[in-house]
């Protein structure tokens, strides 16, 4: 299995449109060097290949996707699932979105 890190949103979007995955997984991650300290990871699989895209907070939005950030500190919900879904559906189409639970949270 190969995991490919995609750095640019346009490239990730193009791959998703070409590969037509059944589901895109997301994880809201801590990103302690950013203000606010949040990031977003998007992953889809095609056969034995995985494609991962990382975005990080830059003020009131994520830097690359411009998804709004709601919570400003660690006690608040940083990203709303409906905002992530709306962005993915607008950019890639109606595709199933599912959270990934990081083993760090266990």
Number of domain units in the chain: 1
Q: What is the pTM of this model?
A: 0.86
Per-residue confidence (pLDDT) for residue 25, from 0 to 100: 96
Dist. CA 44–CA 53, nearest whole Å: 9
CATH of residue 55's domain is 3.30.720.90
Provide the residue range defining the domain that includes 70: 2-99
Nearest to 3 by CA among 43, 55, 56: 43
Per-residue confidence (pLDDT) for residue 104, from 0 to 100: 44
Whether residue 106 lies inside any domain: the answer is no
Dist. CA 84–CA 103, nearest whole Å: 21
pLDDT in tens, the chain (106 residues): 799 999 999 999 999 999 999 999 999 888 888 778 889 999 999 999 999 999 999 888 999 999 998 866 556 667 888 999 999 999 999 999 999 865 444 3
Q: What is the DSSP letter of 104?
A: G
- β partners of residue 26: 42, 99
Q: Give the SS3 label for residue 81.
A: helix
Nearest to 44 by CA among 100, 102, 104: 100
């Amino acid at each position: 299995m190969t995991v490919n890190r995609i750095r640019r949103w346009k490239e990730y979007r193009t791959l998703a449109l070409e590969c037509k995955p059944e589901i895109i997984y997301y994880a809201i991650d801590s990103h302690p060097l950013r203000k606010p300290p949040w990031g977003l990871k998007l992953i889809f699989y095609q056969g034995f290949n995985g494609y991962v895209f990382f975005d990080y907070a830059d003020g009131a939005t994520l830097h690359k996707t411009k998804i709004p950030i709601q919570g400003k500190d660690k006690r608040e919900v940083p990203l709303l699932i409906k905002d992530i879904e709306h962005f993915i559906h607008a950019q890639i189409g109606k595709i199933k979105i599912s959270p990934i639970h990081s083993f760090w949270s266990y």
